[in-house]
Amino acid sequence: MSKDKIVILTGAGISAESGLGTFRDEGGLWAQHRIEDVATPEGFHRDPDLVHGFYNARRAHAAKASPNAAHTALAQLEAEHPGNVLIVTQNVDALHEKAGSKNVLHMHGTLAGALCGRCDHRWPAPPEMHKDDLCPACGSAATRPDVVWFGEMPYHMDDIWTHLAQADTFVAIGTSGEVYPAAAFVQEAAMGGAHTIELNLEPSTRVSDFAETCFGPATRIVPDWVTQELSR
């Protein structure tokens, strides 16, 4: 059994077969909503009701979703692989945790979190958030979903760069490679000597950066890859 340190980057594609929409596929979230309206600080300032409505709907949808075979396979890998397994996810759903993964970093935040724009206090988000909700710590009506919007710094970046430099294997699953800094992770890991693998429905924009690729639905190709990894 290899003791490889495995770092896995996941995107919306791993949750697609759990019924959660992706962003850039046909009919995806960014075909239904303008990013500048619902996923930027400026959009939130302009119309907080619209933004809370967008995230309330996604929070309700994600709460009803179940992990699929790909999430479950990654939880099995973490439990059975003798080396360290870290998931860095761009997703704001909790499907990795619901599948049993524990070592998960949400670089774009989570739908389950609420944040005060005034004092940075964080608390578990209620099912629905509204612009007049008061921060439990400072009492300001400045609450927002604890998700990272375009133009904001993703979370855990210092840790993530360190883990990428130490990775023996880097796997990207269900991500288009369109958004930085996540899109640069494969090159960072490769520079540190990692073997790099893309598991995706179709080639991403970063496909040429990967040493190994496998295309197909995550619920098929991720369990296959985990079985192969655990038998090495």
Q: Are 91 and 67 in contact (CB under 8 A)?
A: no
- The residue (of 6 and 16) whose beta carbon lies closer to ligand APR is 16
Q: Please state the φ and ψ torsions of residue 65, each to the nearest 5 degrees.
A: -85, 150
List Cα–Cα distances, 156 to 33, 112, 166, 179, in angstroms: 27, 17, 16, 16
Query: Which amino acid type is present at position 80?
Result: E
- Binding status of residue 110 toward ligand APR by CB under 6 A: no
CB of 100 to ligand APR, least distance (A): 20
CB of 184 to ligand APR, least distance (A): 13
β-bridge mates for residue 199, sequence order: 173, 214
CB of 116 to Zn ion, least distance (A): 3
Contact segment (CB under 6 A) with ligand APR among 19-27, 52-60, 126-134, 158-166 equals: 19-27
- Binding status of residue 24 toward ligand APR by CB under 6 A: yes
* Residue among 5, 28, 61, 165 that touches ligand APR (CB under 6 A): 28
- Annotated active-site residue 163? The verdict is no
Q: Is 159 helix (H, G, I), strand (E, B) or coil?
A: helix
Q: Which does 191 bind (CB under 5 to 8 A by kind): Zn ion, ligand APR, none?
A: none
Structure tokens at 27: 């009919």
- The residue (of 123 and 161) whose beta carbon lies closer to Zn ion is 123
Q: Is 173 helix (H, G, I), strand (E, B) or coil?
A: strand
Q: Please state the φ and ψ torsions of residue 187, each to the nearest 5 degrees.
A: -70, -40
Q: Which does 138 bind (CB under 5 to 8 A by kind): Zn ion, ligand APR, none?
A: Zn ion
**Catalytically active residues, by annotation:** 108
